[in-house]
Structure 1
Amino acid sequence: MDTKSLIIDIATALFQKKGYMGVGLNEILKACKVTKGALYHHFPNGKEELLIACLDAMNRAITTDIEDIFNRHPNTQAATQAMIEKMIADFDQKGSITGHTFISIVSEMGSVSEPVRNACSLLYTRIQAIYADKLAADGMSQEDANAMALMMTASIEGGTMLCLTNKTSEPLKMISQILPKISLIH
């Protein structure tokens, strides 16, 4: 793995675990075993530029994972169920859902930095498009599919935050039972 990719991978994990403000540049340097010069070589504008690179990497990983799940299942109901069950299993095994969420970064930095807000917005837009496309393929009108995709995104993200806050996967378990049924109503 090249130095830039290594920095992005390690910083992403740190940002997801501790939030943007909770991770200092020295901690990133130490964890990556690189010099400040090496970091600034790849990210001349510093920590915020690194965060945006991390968000971009997360965007690709999360949407690829969701697309894979949604492509393997015949309809939105089955795909949504499988995706949420995977998130529940991750939470129950690891006590976190780091591969699928960046809520702490959004809440911490979204109002502070327009480039960070835009990077976060892009991810949510891509997730909603995956959901909307599958709903439309199931026969829902595009307008209804877009509205349902927004509701699905909000429910899953909110459920994820509740899981992390309450240290239990119960919110996502409840959403996994209810959300697929709601998405069938047109």
Structure 2
Amino acid sequence: MDTKSLIIETATTLFQQKGYKTVGLTEILKACNVTKGALYHHFPNGKDELLITCLHALKEDITTDIKVIFSKHPSTEDAIVSMIDKLIRSFEKDGTITGYTFSSIVSEMATMSEPVRTACSDLYENIEQIYYIKLLADGFSVEKATAISLLLTASIEGAMMLCLTQQSTNPLIKISKLLPTLLKNF
């Protein structure tokens, strides 16, 4: 792995686990075993530029992963349950859900930095768009697909945050059972 990719991957994990404000450049440098010069070579504007790059990388990874899951299932209900099952397994294996959740970054930085807010917004919009397209394919109207894709995004992201704060998979397990029923009744 090249230096830039190593810095992005390491910083992304640290930001997700500890939050943007808590993680200092020294910690990132130490975890990557690179110099400050190497970091500033790739990210001349420092930590904010690195964060935005991390968010763009997350956007690609999360979007690709969700698209793969959704392409394997005939309905939104099946795809949602499969995706949530994957999140549950990840939490049970690792005790966290790095790779999918970025709410801690949003809550810390979205009101402080317009470029970060925009990067976070783009990621949420991509997730909603995947749900929206699948819902349209399931026969939902544009209006309902728009509303449901927002509901799914908020419910899943909220459940992930609750899992992290409660150190339990119960929130994801509950919505995994509830969301398919809600979709059938829409």
- 2:39 maps to 39
Structure 1: which amino acid aligns with 2:82? Answer: A
**Structure 1 regions of 5+ residues with no counterpart?**
none
Structure-2 separation of matches of 1:183 and 1:131: 12
Matching residue of 1:171 = 171
Q: Does 1:128 align with 2:111?
A: no
3-state DSSP of counterpart to 1:157: helix
- Residue number in structure 1 paired with 2:183: 183
Task: Describe how 1:9-48 pairs up with structure 2 within 5 A.
Answer: 9-48=9-48
Distance in 1 (CA, whole Å) between partners of 2:5 and 2:167 is 31
Q: By how many angstroms is 1:185 displaced?
A: 2.6
Number of aligned residues: 186
**Aligned partners of 2:180, 2:61: CA distance in 1, in Å?**
23
Measured after TM superposition, the shift of residue 35 of structure 1 is: 1.0
* Counterpart secondary structure, 2:107: helix
TM-score, with length taken from structure 2: 0.98
1:113-141 deviation digits (Å, cap 9, x = unpaired): 11001000000000000001000000000
Structure 2 residue runs without a partner (length 5+):
none
**For 1:22-42, what per-residue CA distance to the aligned partner results, in whole angstroms no more than 9, with x for missing partners?**
100111111111111111111
Paired residue secondary structure (2:127): helix
Where 1:60 maps in the other structure, the secondary structure is helix
Runs (4+) off by over 3 Å: none
For 1:161 and 1:13, how far apart are their aligned partners in 2?
16
| Aligned counterparts of 2:41 and 2:183: Cα–Cα separation in 1 | 47
